Amino acid sequence: MLLPLSNLPRDYAWGSTTLIAELEGREPTGAREAEVWFGDHPGCPAKTPDGRTLDRWLREEGAASGAPDCLPYLLKVLAAASPLSIQSHPSKAQAHAGFEREEAAGVPVDAPHRVFRDDNHKPELIVAVSDTFTALAGVRDLAATRRLLAELGEAGRAISQRLEGDSDAAAVRDTIAWLLSGEASAEVEAVVAAASVTASDEFAGELGFIRRFGAEFPGDPGLVVALLMNLVTLRRGEALFVDAGVLHAYVEGLGVEVMAASDNVLRGGLTPKHIDVPGLLEVLDPTPGPAPVLEPRAVGSGVDLYAPGVPDFALVRARVANGADASVALRGTAIALAVAGPVTVADPATGDSVILDAGRAVLAAGVDRLVLSGSGEVFIAEPGE
């Protein structure tokens, strides 16, 4: 069956006032609109046409419709106007241990200082929907970071010296620990001040990030942690896959995000929310390397598959136009979300169909294949390979 889904935007402080409204074709409200969740996660489950939440619907009717009691993934529209917190996510083992620890300590699951709100890992994939989407993802190669710090003169040298050692990963971890400890406030202030007056051809984007957000996050050591990370500008349709331990922060743009159904976040800066430095360092993978860009593979005419190799999810992007239909085979219960439309989403086995305008979604339960027609673009989240 095909079950339309809806939800309201979440008003996080980093959200855009315009991007989600523009996607949905309505006037902006003036409020920050950061994410729209299409899934059954209890933090903000989608709504079904009869007013039930999706988690309730799956419990009550999922089995009869060919759907599981709960979904392994969460699909979102994400709209950033300023950086999300610098963060990392735990592995499954780390999430289980952390959740049990906080449960045993009696920390309320909705407490602001609670870190592990469930016992699941949270690998995630984001695909750019806006013309560009900016993100920080992974620790940059140290040779490049040293070139950047050298351009900041004496202020950069104080950080660069911390990055020396036999192991690049250990040096990065120790440097991040020092920056976030509160003991490096003078060095952070000096780096931010130097970055605001330094010009660079190679690192114009990185220095521009500091100039743009330094006033928004005064004295925040996350600004200097950001200088250790890969700054990435995705074009529409390009993607990042963030696995457990990968340091990241989305910065600006509109994207479709799919992740394991979890809300476990270890934060390290650029946020007024709770920061758990020891917890972040425990889950962090500090290994330097390139940004974790994920290339899709074509699986049909106008159909691309983003498959990061996790069992929780994969994501299909399908584009239709000029009367050319797209056919998408499904691995299990899926959610189709339009970002341009109208697109008709049909189950050829039953003849059921739903017309999706941009920003609208539908759950496909007990469906082997979807056929898309019309003119637009649809993302389909499904279980992984």
Which spans in the chain are helix H?
19-24, 54-57, 63-65, 92-104, 142-150, 153-160, 168-180, 185-195, 204-213, 222-226, 277-283
Q: What is the largest CA-CA distance in the chain?
A: 69
Kindly name the residue from 32, 173, 267, 319 that is annotated as catalytic: 267
Q: Which residues pair with 78 in a beta bridge?
A: 35, 255
Among 112, 102, 59, 117, which residue's Cα sits nearest to residue 260?
A: 117
Amino acid letter for position 255 = G
Range 300-307 contact pairs with CB under 8 angstroms and sequence separation of 24 or more: 300/326, 300/327, 300/328, 301/326, 302/326, 303/327, 303/328, 304/237, 306/125, 306/127, 306/239, 306/241, 307/384, 307/385
Cβ proximity of 383 and 72 under 8 Å:
yes
Residue 319 designated active-site: no
Among 151, 72, 31, 107, which residue's Cα sits nearest to residue 384?
A: 72
Pair of tokens at residue 30: 């003036």
Determine the Cα angle at 317 with ends 312 and 319, to 5°: 160
Instruction: Please tell me the distance from the alpha carbon of residue 141 to that of residue 228, in angstroms, as a whole number.
Output: 9
| 231 phi and psi angles, rounded to 5 deg | -95, 120
Instruction: Please tell me the distance from the alpha carbon of residue 41 to that of residue 49, in angstroms, as a whole number.
Output: 18
Q: How many CA atoms lie within 13 A of 358 on its CB side?
A: 19
The residues annotated with a catalytic role in the active site are: 267
